[in-house]
Amino acid sequence: MNAGTEVVVARTGVANLAAVVAALRRAGARPVLSDRAGDVRDAGAVVLPGVGSFAAGMRALVDTGLDLALRDRVRDGRPTLAICLGMQLLGLASAESPGVEGVGAVDARYARFAGEIRVPQIGWNAVVAPPEARILANGDAYFANSFRLDRAPDGWTAAWSGHGGSFVAALERGAVVACQFHPELSGAFGAGIVERWIAAARREVCAC
């Protein structure tokens, strides 16, 4: 997987893709949009972006079969980058849409921010990553979220942020990364995450 190699961006109908595509191109990748389950299942690297509601996002994934393709990818540790709602969709469920099951690739249930704080959280917030993180890092990122994960699932390295208490800002496990924030809108900090993810994906594919 060399610079300029294809990265499939899952077309779900619940994402603003222009900024994601531009960020991938700046990082030297060649993004291709697809809503075909086979493309997402077989690609060397996949991005799952998303904005909007959990129920609408899951409906789009189920209707196209992308839910099963993504579940297989993440469980197999194949290079995948999930962004904002995309991160939540990989989990088990969200309080935003009771009764709607997520992809189920990550042992995570999302709750609404509680307390006397502004919801949704929109704007810049600090991200703190542990020393063992390979792709995530410390910096300031752009968030737009009303729901959050308050614990790190077993087997994942977590970066943290704070809004009415600590919450998981991002997760990584090998070449799988899920960001609650928008790396494509987070300046040099976000660009660094995208570049390191692409480099990890390249190493993963070349090792096969």
E strand spans, the chain:
6-10, 30-34, 46-48, 80-83, 93-94, 109-112, 121-127, 139-145, 147-148, 157-162, 166-173, 176-179
- Residues pairing with 110 in the sheet: 94
Among residues 163, 179, 184, 204, the one annotated as catalytic is: 184
In angstroms, the Cα distances linking 37 to 49, 93, 174, 183, 187 are 15, 21, 23, 25, 31
CA distance 88 to 51: 10
Residue type, 60: A
Cis peptide before 31 (omega within 30 of 0): no
Q: Which of 163, 172, 179, 182 is catalytic?
A: 182
Determine how β-strand 46-48 pairs with β-strand 157-162: unpaired
In the residue annotation, 184 being an active-site residue is answered as: yes
Structure-token match 């994934």, residue found: 61
Residue of 2, 101, 106, 19 lying closest to 58 (CA atoms)? 101
**What φ, ψ does residue 73 adopt, rounded to 5°?**
-60, -50
Catalytically active residues are 84, 182, 184
